[in-house]
Structure 1
C-alpha cells in the first residue's frame, strides 16, 4: 500500500460510524399541536399519566433484569387507574398503554434519534437523546400524575417538500411511540452527509435546485465517476467507480446517496466534489488549507486545480454543479478540519 492509500485509510477511520445498537423513534405530537412546544422546550412527552414517575424511576434497574415483572406491575396500575371509568379498559388497551409507557421510559436510550412531525407532516424535526434522565417540573412537587418527559437535542428541521419520499410511509404509524429502525438509512441521510451504516460508507450529495434536468443530473454523475477512476489510476489508490451504488431521491430539492462497502471509494468521491467546487469553507467561515492534511488530500487538490485549467471547471461545475445547485458537503469539510487539527477520531 502506497503512502497516499495509507492517508486515505486514515480519513476512512475518522468517518462517523452509526452504532449497531442505535434506535430510531417516531414520536407523535397530537396532530401537530405539541410540535412547537417540543421544539421550543427541547423535550418530548407522551400523554399517559397512569403510572407515577417515582414508580417508573425506582423500577429502572429491575426492568433491565426482569422486564416481564415490571410490565405486569405497570399493567396492574393502569387497570387500577381506569377502574372507575364508565367503560374500563380491556386487556388489549391496557397492554397497548403499558407498551407505550415502557418504550418511552425505558427503551429510548442515549444516542437514539427522535423524529417528530408537525400538522400534516408539513415540517419534520430530527433530534438526539443525549441524557438518560427524565425531566418534569411537576416531579419535585410530588405530583403522582405528572407527564413523563425526555430531554432532546434537536438537530435539524426539514420541510415536507425537502423530505425524502421514502420516509412518507413511516408517518402512517399512529401510536404515540413508534420504533422505526427500518428507516435508519433514510433518516441518517436526512441529517448527515457522510456516515458508515451496516459497514457501508454513505456520501450524500444535496441538490438544491427546484427543477432537476436529467442532462445535468446524469452529466454530473458521469463526470464524477470518470474523475474518480482517473484519480485512482493516477495515484494508485485502488478504488473504482464500480464499487459504488446510488440511491436517488427525485424530489426537488433532493438527495443523491452514493454508498459503497469500499469506504475509501466513497471518501475519494466526496473529496473530489468538494475540491472541484472551488473552495472548502465551514459554515462558521473557517477556511481549510490542504497544508497539514494527509498527502492524498493535497495530491487530489493539486491534480484537480491543474485539470481545471484545461476543461474541468467549465465542463462540470459550471454547467452541471451550478445548475443543480449542489450544496457544499459540510460533513466532508468537518472531517478534513478534524484531521487537520489532529482531533481525536470519533467512532
Structure 2
C-alpha cells in the first residue's frame, strides 16, 4: 500500500487510520451515576479500591488474590469475576484502545480513546459525599463522540445489554468504527460512510441513485499514482442500513484500497460544486482544490469526443447525486467537507 499511503501523505487527505490491533471495551458507569464524571473529567475507572496493585492481578497470583477479595467483600458471591474485571482493567486494556460508556438508562453512549496506563488517584470523603466518583483506579480517555441511543447503530444494541463492569466489544468493532468515523482505513481496507438523515419514508429512486452514482463514478476515477490502473464496480463493496435514518457504507475490496480514498474525494468534491466543466472544447475550467487533485482524479481522456462524453457523464452523475443528497439528507464526511472548503481555489487548465 506504499503508493496509497503516499497519496494520503502528499495531499494531506484527512482519512483516519485505525490500528488493526485496536481493542474495544464497554465500561459501565454504575448505572449512569458516574457518566458525567467520566466524560467531563476525561477518564474511566473501576471500583474495589482496596486492590490497587497490578502485580496482584497476574495469573500466578489469581488464587491468592481471589481469596483476598472474598475476605474483603464478604457479600461478593463471585470474587473470581471481580479478579477478572480488575485484571482486564490493569493488563488487557491498552493505550489506543476504544472505550464506550453508557449514561443513565443508556440514553447516550460516549466513545473515546484510552490515552494512559492505569493511575491511582485519591478522592477525599468530602468529594465523595458531594457525589464525586470514588473510584481510585483510572485511565485517561480522549472522548471522540457522544451518540444518542436512538441514533446508535442497531448492531450495538445487543452490546448495551451486557451488565458486566467491563466487557470486551471486539465483536462489534466494525459497527463502532463506522459510528466514530466516516472516512477511515484499517489494515488494507478503506471505508467511506454517508449518513442518511431523512426521518420520513425514503423514496426508492433516491436511494438507488445514492447507491448507483458512486458505483458509476468508479469507472471514471483515475489514480495519479497508478496511471495505468483502471477500477471496476466490483472493486467496491456497499453496505446499507437505512430504516429511516441510517448509513450507506462503501468499502474497498480486492486490494483496491485507494479506490475508496479517491471516491470519497470525488463524491464530496463533485457534490460540493468544487469541480465544474464548461462548454469549451479547448479549456476545462475547474474550481479546484488541493492544487488540482480533483482534476487528477477525473483525468480527461485524450480524444476530444471522449472528453466531451466524460464531461457529460460527470455532470449527469453530479446532478443525480446532488438530488439524492438533498432528498435523503445525506451528510458526507465533515472532514472532507472542511478539507475542500479550506483548500478551494480556482484554476483554468488546458485540455
Residues 249-270 of structure 1 show CA distances to partners (whole Å, capped at 9, x for unaligned) of 2243211121123112211221
Show the counterpart of 2:279: none
Q: Number of paired residues?
A: 308
3-state SS of the aligned residue for 1:238? coil
Show the counterpart of 2:221: 231
Structure 1 runs not aligned, ≥5 long: 140-144, 281-287, 341-347
Q: Deviation at 1:202?
A: 1.3
3-state SS of the aligned residue for 1:311? helix
3-state SS of the aligned residue for 2:17? coil
Call closer, same or farther: CA 1:77–1:333 in 2, change over 3 Å. farther
Structure 2 runs not aligned, ≥5 long: 125-133, 275-286, 301-306, 345-351
Q: Does 2:206 correspond to 1:216?
A: yes
Matches within 5 A, 1:287-306: 290-292=289-291, 295=293, 297-300=294-297, 306=311
Matches within 5 A, 1:59-74: 59=55, 67-74=58-65
Q: Does 2:235 correspond to 1:243?
A: yes
Question: Do the aligned residues in 1 keep the contact of 2:24 with 2:97 (CA within 8 Å)?
Answer: yes
Residues 147-169 of structure 1 show CA distances to partners (whole Å, capped at 9, x for unaligned) of 31221111001112211111111
Residues 264-303 of structure 1 show CA distances to partners (whole Å, capped at 9, x for unaligned) of 22112211211122257xxxxxxx962436x5x3333686
**Larger displacement relative to structure 2 (118-127 or 181-190):** 118-127
Question: Do the aligned residues in 2 keep the contact of 1:12 with 1:263 (CA within 8 Å)?
Answer: no
Call closer, same or farther: CA 1:125–1:6 in 2, change over 3 Å. closer
Q: Does 2:71 correspond to 1:80?
A: yes
3-state SS of the aligned residue for 1:265? helix
Residues 117-153 of structure 1 show CA distances to partners (whole Å, capped at 9, x for unaligned) of 12232211101111224252339xxxxx963122111
3-state SS of the aligned residue for 2:296? helix
Call closer, same or farther: CA 1:146–1:273 in 2, change over 3 Å. closer
Show the counterpart of 2:81: 96
Q: Which of 246, 251, 254 is matched with 2:246 structurally?
A: 254
Structure number with higher relative contact order (C-alpha < 8 Å, ≥ 6 residues apart): 1
Q: Does 2:316 correspond to 1:311?
A: yes
Q: Which of 260, 266, 274 is matched with 1:272 structurally?
A: 266
TM-score of the two chains, using structure 2 as the length reference: 0.76
Show the counterpart of 2:34: 34
Show the counterpart of 2:21: 21
**Larger displacement relative to structure 2 (302-311 or 72-81):** 302-311
CA distance in 2, matches of 1:310, 1:105: 56
Show the counterpart of 1:11: 7
Q: Deviation at 1:188?
A: 0.5
Show the counterpart of 1:195: 184
Q: Deviation at 1:112?
A: 0.4
CA distance in 2, matches of 1:177, 1:168: 16
Call closer, same or farther: CA 1:152–1:225 in 2, change over 3 Å. same
Call closer, same or farther: CA 1:193–1:246 in 2, change over 3 Å. same
Matches within 5 A, 1:46-61: 46-51=46-51, 53=52, 55-56=53-54, 59=55
CA distance in 2, matches of 1:77, 1:207: 53
Q: Which structure is higher in strand share?
A: 2
TM-score of the two chains, using structure 1 as the length reference: 0.76
3-state SS of the aligned residue for 2:219? helix
3-state SS of the aligned residue for 1:231? coil
Question: Do the aligned residues in 2 keep the contact of 1:241 with 1:265 (CA within 8 Å)?
Answer: no
Show the counterpart of 1:45: 45
Cα RMSD between the aligned structures? 3.6
Q: Deviation at 1:47?
A: 2.7
Matches within 5 A, 1:151-162: 151-162=140-151
